[in-house]
Structure 1
Amino acid sequence: MIKTYQPGVDDDAIVDIWLRASRLAHAFLGEDFIAGEADNIRNVYLPMAETCTIWVDNRLVGFISLLGHQVGGLFLDPAFHGRGLGRALMDDAVARMGTLELDVFVKNDLGRRFYARYGFVAIEERIDDPTGEPVLHLRYPA
């Protein structure tokens, strides 16, 4: 079930999911960087984004955060990958917004495969300033 993010209620679960998913998909960034970003997720990104959560058996297992038509983040508890939950969150966002864009690290093979299967196409490559890593800017629909 998809629900609207509840500030102050869902924060701990969202940060925990973000940490576990980032350690899997963004291991190349290093543990210090990932751990340091957790506070930004809670205090900077969540308050400025429109976030929806997805629940399985009364447990928050994933979320998508939008900044207008930009997907700021799509993360699932790794134990729930491959169940169509990421697609459900993306379908909900597309139904509400139509066109979506996002950035994904070139080294994030997991994310790149998901977005390619969904139908996103790369429109630009650049270097992410905070990390120095290359990112692809993607758009849906193409």
Structure 2
Amino acid sequence: MIRKYNDNEIPTLVNIWEQSSRIAHPFLTEEFTLMVKQAMKETYLPNSNTWVYVEANNILGFISMIENEIGGLFVSPKHHAKGIGTALVNHMKQFHKNLEVEVFYQNKIGKPFYEKYGFKVFKEYIMESTNQKVLRMKTN
């Protein structure tokens, strides 16, 4: 089941984000990861349109949207490659004809996922705070 998240679920979402992020972004510094973790709790989740994927009363993944942009899509590592990310993106397609996302070039999980889904790169830049290449992608 996919539903909107509740504020009291933020700790669960941050935990899923941290587990997934450490696997997808091993190239990021610990300092940057801790900074984003705090921002997830205080800024990103409270200010985005976030939906959760729930199975047997457990949140297995979530997607956070800012208008038509996927601000974050994270699935518990134990549940990767089971269609949860695809289900969440498909759910958002009901509300937005075209979706956009930014993904680190070195992200060996997210980048192939978005490419498989049909997202195409339309811009690249170096994120100053990480010195990492970021791809801006969108659906057609």
TM-score range, shorter chain: over 0.9
- Paired amino acid for 2:85: G
Question: How many angstroms does 1:129 deviate by?
Answer: 2.3
State the partner residue of 1:2. 2
* Poorly superposed stretches of 4+, deviation over 6 Å: none
Question: How many angstroms does 1:31 deviate by?
Answer: 2.6
Instruction: In structure 2, list runs of 5 or more residues that go unmatched.
Output: none
State the partner residue of 2:136. 137
Question: In the alignment, is residue 93 of structure 1 matched against residue 77 of structure 2?
Answer: no
| TM-score for the superposition, normalised by structure 2 | 0.96
State the partner residue of 1:114. 113
**C-alpha separation in 2, matches of 1:29 and 1:75:** 17
Q: Which has the higher helix share?
A: 1
SS in 2 for 1:97: coil
**C-alpha separation in 1, matches of 2:26 and 2:47:** 26
Q: How many residues align?
A: 140
Question: How many angstroms does 1:109 deviate by?
Answer: 1.5
**C-alpha separation in 1, matches of 2:65 and 2:29:** 25
Please report the RMSD computed on the Cα atoms of aligned residues, expressed in angstroms.
Answer: 0.9
- 1:19/1:35 contact within 8 Å kept: no
1:44-99 deviation line (CA, Å, top 9, x unaligned): 10111000000121101110000001110000001000110000000001111111
- 1:63/1:76 contact within 8 Å kept: yes
Identity of aligned residues (%): 35
State the partner residue of 2:35. 36
